[in-house]
Chain A
């Protein structure tokens, strides 16, 4: 195994190419951004790009759990959303706290801690017919704890759910449906006003960073874009290391024939659980980076359909190859925003005009079918034809 002696990037040229491309892309976008560059890339497009990078990161996680480990999870967007909620709680609380403190600066008496919390509660929950801060917001004033929770809450949920599911040998389509039920239950729970996370409204105003009121969105967007690019790069390397290690061989084995791996003496459940939890955590981190760029998170984000889209990205990009997931996520989400943005030209047929706003979803749906039927390797499969792809 002389391979191992070589440095990482030389061992895996595809990873090197990817990281270089990502770095080049980041630099190019920075140069063209409104903040430091000549402004060809508008802030709204910069946000779209930053969010797309987050999608790519969660798609990598999806690829690891589905493409490599064979678990078609239809619930990973739930972890993505939970990550967003955790960071959103801090963003919202801290920003509101500053507002309340500022408003009370001229008051006759200084605020007691109780009055401060009450003030924040009225501001945050007043719009959804409440006033009290629920117990789950106990740590919302601490960025450190909420950052830990970004990883911890989805991680523990994935751990409990995965442990229950894998332990009772729920596999295949059953598992898919069960994960779908999980995300539906979570979404329905969050939809309730009484859940303490502002129900249908969710958490909003997340693009404004507490204490940085004066920072322009052009700058903030660029920072988040860099953070997303960094996270994507790191995520890519981590996942690459995993799939190329012995662990990677085992999970591929589980994907191809679970029973055989079990007979070989491996604790299949533990491996699956590890991958499930790890990918949930990656998804949560992606979510925590995504929602401050989106500005708002609400339960609709966690609806089962979102997780299905995630699977679709990976399928279109090409399963079982990490860059495939990235390509799929970037390609489909950007195309989607192009078509629904009203920029795609209408096609007049004389008797009927095709408006892409109306027909984009039909096109998308049809392309899933075609990709599944005729190009099961997805877009990534095209790279194989050029001969420089890697073995899935």
Chain B
């Protein structure tokens, strides 16, 4: 819009507003500021704040050229714009006690009186409206002196790129001093060019510059250039922007709008043909190239409406309880011209055979299409490789969580052959310890640093107590430890409910664990998961060290292999058992803090992990932390891979994984890494 037109528009607007106020609108203040007048002329829409109708209002404010426009938009966006109920006067407010509010003029910021909460009302733009305001504010903020403001303006611009932004981003680019921001701006400029520039050569250059860029915004800009529509005709299509020929029931649509043939079986998965035979016929009917078939439902209606003397088309009603009889009756009706002819599948296919189905690009400029197609193909191949890498990271992360949850169990189960069903509850105790610590130490970083050893201490103590009081008496009855520890498990779970309630409790990660490690546009992983991964490795190394390099480790290994022999060599078995159990439980506690950080803290947290943990240990091989590592890795990767092939159903992934494990154990009953010799005879 040229400057002249803009001014004219403004004048009309102001005039309109003036007339409005003269002809007795609710608002009756003399000498109202121009901004107030402008807003008043839209007061109804403003108060409703619906994204459907607010667009022109925002544009009017932005284009008014008034000095307060930016401020008003910003305040409105921040939900700081109010109005007085008595006369609809728009105001900003200030309050100290939330009872009386002092009212500020929106043009000057001067106080113009006060009111109680009941007399004024806040205007609440919803997030759709706020997005539109952000879009308008881009024009003011992209050249702001504050870098943070410019960044946020660029973000809003990226959310909804428009052709109108091209001039302003060029201006901003010429002024920008910050190198990083300048790169981002120039990239955004190229996105805008790719979408909105009129000069084909410039567009093609911009599009091709993205060949290595996996950004979702780039793909979002390029993909629409390749959108196409399906059409049908009786003669061969002849147009420049033909995208593909479609053979119903045979060809599939590719990303770039082209077509290729593919074998498809429903049970095998994969992408189905773009156009099924039935859909193709419907398309023909819609294009008036073929007569419509009569649906089963319509046939039935026709039969019902032609009932005469308990008969339809010579068939008794009572006999019309099969499809065949109904078809016979319907044919009789057709012969009598009482119903429309049906069209058999063969006839339909014959018509389809003669017609041409094809896709046409919406974009007329084929140079642009070609550039976008090659660029996107290059981007997509990169994306698919990186998606796989992302899946790999996810699997690693899941494996590390399983590993952490199971490693404590591996120690107790491996060394002592004790099935500790309460292991899950130790994990839960750890998580609750983290929660309790956070109640006393509000600083998240400090509280996590305290919580980890605290969780270890609490669960170590709990483990030792349990070992002394219960498990010690059951060493020669391994199956019964299962029962006893199960009893302890439900005790602990219920106690946790009685103490902490059934609500999930917050365990909040410190700021430095917020967000994600972003490797590129596709591959990223949250910092909490990274931290859990590191923790997993840490414990793995620590345990390897303890087991292989310390006296306790030596004794533990001796006890694992042959407790009686170890005892006769002077090892205090009782002490080894107690410490091992404490250690295993303590690690479960730390795992609890980690799991609580990325998921939730509830009394049922432990039971979610217990079966998984047992399977990790069994699959990996008992009595060996390398085995647990292998088991966790196998299960984590397996689950993610099944999820990958069946993305819409996570539950199925878990089922298939367990079935796999059951079958796996058939072939390696002692797990991936099996102990040999006497230790294997448990």
Establish whether A and B are touching in the complex (CB under 8 Å): yes
Q: Which A residues contact B (CB, under 8 angstroms)? A: 72, 108-114, 161, 164-165, 167-170, 172-174, 176-178, 180-182, 184-185, 188-189, 191-192, 194, 304-305, 308, 311-312, 315, 358-359, 361-362, 364-369, 372-373, 376
Closest 8 CB pairs of A and B: A368-B487, A365-B491, A185-B658, A361-B494, A110-B321, A365-B490, A372-B484, A369-B487
The interface residues of chain B lying within 8 Å CB-to-CB of A361 are 490-491, 493-494
Q: Which of B98-106, B456-464, B610-618 contacts A (4 or more CB under 8 A)?
A: B610-618
Find residues 270-313 in chain B having any chain A CB closer than 8 Å to their own CB.
300, 303-304, 307
Contact A362 B495 (CB under 8 A): yes
The contact of B486 among A169, A189, A312, A373, by CB within 8 Å, is A312
The contact of A366 among B320, B487, B618, B658, by CB within 8 Å, is B487
The contact of B479 among A172, A184, A192, A368, by CB within 8 Å, is A172
- Report how many A-B pairs have Cβ atoms within 8 Å: 147
| CB closest chain-A residue, reference B658 | A185
Is B43 an interface position by the 8 A CB rule? no
Contact A109 B491 (CB under 8 A): no
Contact digits for B459-501, partner A, Cβ 8 Å, 1 yes 0 no: 0000000000010011001111011101111111111011000
Contact B498 A185 (CB under 8 A): no
| CB closest chain-B residue, reference A368 | B487
**Cβ of B323 to closest chain A Cβ, rounded Å:** 6
In the complex, what distance in Å separates the CA atom of A366 from the CA atom of B494? 11
The interface residues of chain B lying within 8 Å CB-to-CB of A372 are 474, 480, 483-484, 487
Is B662 an interface position by the 8 A CB rule? yes
Find residues 431-462 in chain B having any chain A CB closer than 8 Å to their own CB.
none
In the complex, what distance in Å separates the CA atom of A305 from the CA atom of B473? 24
**Known A114-B323, A173-B482, A191-B651; contact A178-B662, beta-carbon cutoff 8 A:** yes
**Known A108-B307, A192-B649, A311-B483; contact A178-B488, beta-carbon cutoff 8 A:** no
The contact of A369 among B470, B661, B682, by CB within 8 Å, is B470
| CB closest chain-B residue, reference A376 | B480
Contact A368 B486 (CB under 8 A): yes
14 A-B pairs in the complex with CB atoms less than 8 angstroms apart: A109-B321, A113-B322, A168-B666, A173-B482, A176-B419, A178-B618, A181-B614, A188-B658, A311-B482, A315-B480, A361-B494, A365-B490, A369-B470, A372-B474
**Cβ of A118 to closest chain B Cβ, rounded Å:** 11
Contact A373 B484 (CB under 8 A): yes
Contact A365 B611 (CB under 8 A): no
- Given A168-B666, A173-B417: 18 more A-B contacts, CB < 8 Å: A108-B317, A112-B323, A113-B322, A161-B662, A164-B662, A164-B666, A169-B669, A170-B669, A173-B419, A173-B479, A173-B682, A177-B419, A181-B615, A182-B658, A192-B651, A364-B487, A372-B480, A376-B477
In the complex, what distance in Å separates the CA atom of A165 from the CA atom of B669? 9
**Cβ of A308 to closest chain B Cβ, rounded Å:** 6
The interface residues of chain B lying within 8 Å CB-to-CB of A366 are 487, 491
Contact digits for B657-682, partner A, Cβ 8 Å, 1 yes 0 no: 01101110111010000000000001
Contact B317 A373 (CB under 8 A): no
In the complex, what distance in Å separates the CA atom of A364 from the CA atom of B421? 15
The interface residues of chain A lying within 8 Å CB-to-CB of B419 are 173, 176-177
Contact digits for B184-207, partner A, Cβ 8 Å, 1 yes 0 no: 000000000000000000000000
Is B22 an interface position by the 8 A CB rule? no
Q: Which of B322, B495, B659, B665 has the most CB of A within 10 A?
A: B665
Say whether chain A's binding surface is mostly helix, strand, loop, or mixed: helix
| CB closest chain-A residue, reference B657 | A185
Contact A112 B326 (CB under 8 A): yes
The interface residues of chain B lying within 8 Å CB-to-CB of A365 are 486-492, 494
The interface residues of chain B lying within 8 Å CB-to-CB of A364 are 487, 490
In the complex, what distance in Å separates the CA atom of A367 from the CA atom of B486? 11
Contact A192 B662 (CB under 8 A): no
Contact digits for B410-421, partner A, Cβ 8 Å, 1 yes 0 no: 000000010101
| CB closest chain-A residue, reference B473 | A373
In the complex, what distance in Å separates the CA atom of A141 from the CA atom of B666? 37
Contact A110 B484 (CB under 8 A): no
In the complex, what distance in Å separates the CA atom of A304 from the CA atom of B483? 13
**Known A110-B321, A359-B494; contact A315-B614, beta-carbon cutoff 8 A:** no
The interface residues of chain A lying within 8 Å CB-to-CB of B666 are 164-165, 167-168
In the complex, what distance in Å separates the CA atom of A65 from the CA atom of B211? 66
Contact B611 A304 (CB under 8 A): yes
The contact of A177 among B304, B417, B618, by CB within 8 Å, is B618
Contact A373 B474 (CB under 8 A): yes
In the complex, what distance in Å separates the CA atom of A358 from the CA atom of B499? 10
Contact A184 B611 (CB under 8 A): yes
The contact of B658 among A109, A164, A181, by CB within 8 Å, is A181
**Known A172-B479, A173-B419; contact A194-B649, beta-carbon cutoff 8 A:** yes
In the complex, what distance in Å separates the CA atom of A341 from the CA atom of B143? 69
**Cβ of B354 to closest chain A Cβ, rounded Å:** 32
In the complex, what distance in Å separates the CA atom of A68 from the CA atom of B323? 58
The interface residues of chain A lying within 8 Å CB-to-CB of B1 are none
In the complex, what distance in Å separates the CA atom of A366 from the CA atom of B488? 7
| CB closest chain-A residue, reference B659 | A185
| CB closest chain-A residue, reference B419 | A173
Contact B470 A358 (CB under 8 A): no
**Cβ of B496 to closest chain A Cβ, rounded Å:** 11
Is B380 an interface position by the 8 A CB rule? no
| CB closest chain-B residue, reference A174 | B618
The interface residues of chain A lying within 8 Å CB-to-CB of B607 are 305
The interface residues of chain A lying within 8 Å CB-to-CB of B487 are 312, 364-369, 372
The interface residues of chain B lying within 8 Å CB-to-CB of A359 are 494, 498
**Cβ of B246 to closest chain A Cβ, rounded Å:** 29
The interface residues of chain B lying within 8 Å CB-to-CB of A192 are 649, 651-652, 655
Is B641 an interface position by the 8 A CB rule? no
In the complex, what distance in Å separates the CA atom of A318 from the CA atom of B272? 59
The interface residues of chain A lying within 8 Å CB-to-CB of B328 are none
Is B318 an interface position by the 8 A CB rule? yes
**Cβ of B49 to closest chain A Cβ, rounded Å:** 35
Is B654 an interface position by the 8 A CB rule? yes
**Known A170-B669, A191-B651, A373-B470; contact A358-B482, beta-carbon cutoff 8 A:** no
**Cβ of B310 to closest chain A Cβ, rounded Å:** 11
In the complex, what distance in Å separates the CA atom of A368 from the CA atom of B480? 10
Contact A177 B615 (CB under 8 A): yes
Contact B322 A112 (CB under 8 A): yes
**Cβ of B651 to closest chain A Cβ, rounded Å:** 5
| CB closest chain-B residue, reference A167 | B666
